[in-house]
Amino acid sequence: MSQLPNYLRSHRKRLALSQDDVAFLLGTQSGTKMCRYERFVREPSLEEALALAVIFKKPLEEIFAGAYRRAELMIASRAKALGYRLDRRKPGQQSKRRREALQALAALSKAKP
């Protein structure tokens, strides 16, 4: 089963908060912004996402599980590509650590369904 881009609505409901309540905590006047976030029409700014993590007392990767997983897969793909580029170069002093870091990032695609 694929994950939703975010779980804002379920976390908000768990705390029995309205969209207007959360919007007020974020410093906006109307719950319209929260509605758009919950319906995946807009994405919150980094500052708003961090504020939502504070409000819901949950880590970002749990609130924005689908978006987080997409980011993991994208980074894993790019790490593999960068690893291939690195393999074509002469080994340098830092290349061992670099390869290990890239391999760990590339393994993200295999972690979690």
- pLDDT computed for residue 113 by the predictor: 58
Amino acid of residue 8: L
* Every domain of the chain and the residues it spans: 8-63, 67-109
State how far Cα 2 lies from the chain centre.
Answer: 15
Q: Which position has the token pair 């996402």? A: 49
What pLDDT, in 10s, does the model give residues 80-90?
A: 999 888 877 76
CATH of 8-63, one of 1.20.20.10, 1.10.260.40, 2.40.50.420, 2.120.10.80: 1.10.260.40
Per-residue DSSP letter, 30: -
What pLDDT, in 10s, does the model give residues 36-81?
A: 999 999 999 999 999 999 999 999 999 999 999 999 999 999 999 9
